[in-house]
Amino acid sequence: MRAFKLWLLAVFLLTVVNIVNRVLYKYKIKHLTKAERRKKMQEYDRQEAMALDGFANRNYRTFWNSYLIKETGYKFGVEGEMISSALGKNEVDKTLSEKGKGKLSSWFYGVRLVKILDRLDKDHCINSIDLTKGEWVPKKTEL
């Protein structure tokens, strides 16, 4: 029970600190022009997203591997790899899940997540593939 309480506190603090830090950073750069502030905030948001992405890929690999890919898919959880890179590798290999499981079955699965990311950024997962992370060799597809 003690470990669970510490975990809850850590999640709470991470959430609060992320929000407060963003507000503080925005305040810190208020002297810049609007265009400079926008650029700085985009850089800040990108760095934060990448840090959280790498953390989530490693720490929540059991979840991703259960819901986003088929049994034979490239596994999530490689240290330093982003979720989008692993999704891209599975997209190439055609090993993304095509339907969810349990209570997430109607909306959370690999193919759908890739489509959402592609709407935000064309070919996001394919372009995010990091060949320096993990041991991945694209599966041969029939012509």
Q: Mind listing the pLDDT tens digit for each residue in 44-94?
A: 999 999 999 999 999 999 999 999 999 999 999 999 999 999 999 999 999
- Regarding whether 72 and 18 lie in a shared domain, the answer is no
Task: Record the pTM.
Answer: 0.83
Distance CA 49, CA 119 (A): 17
Could you tell me if 85 and 115 are in contact, meaning their C-beta atoms sit under 8 angstroms apart? no
Check pLDDT > 70 for residue 143: no
85/21 same-domain check? no
CB neighbourhood size of 130 (10 A): 16
**pLDDT for the residue 74:** 97
Domain check: are 27 and 93 in the same one? no
Helix (H/G/I), strand (E/B), else coil: 110: helix
By residue range, what is the domain housing residue 100? Answer: 34-132
Q: Do 54 and 100 belong to one domain?
A: yes
Q: Tokens 């022009």 map to which residue?
A: 33
Q: From CA 118, how far away is CA 126, in angstroms rounded? A: 9
| pLDDT tens digits, 27-44 | 999 999 999 999 999 999
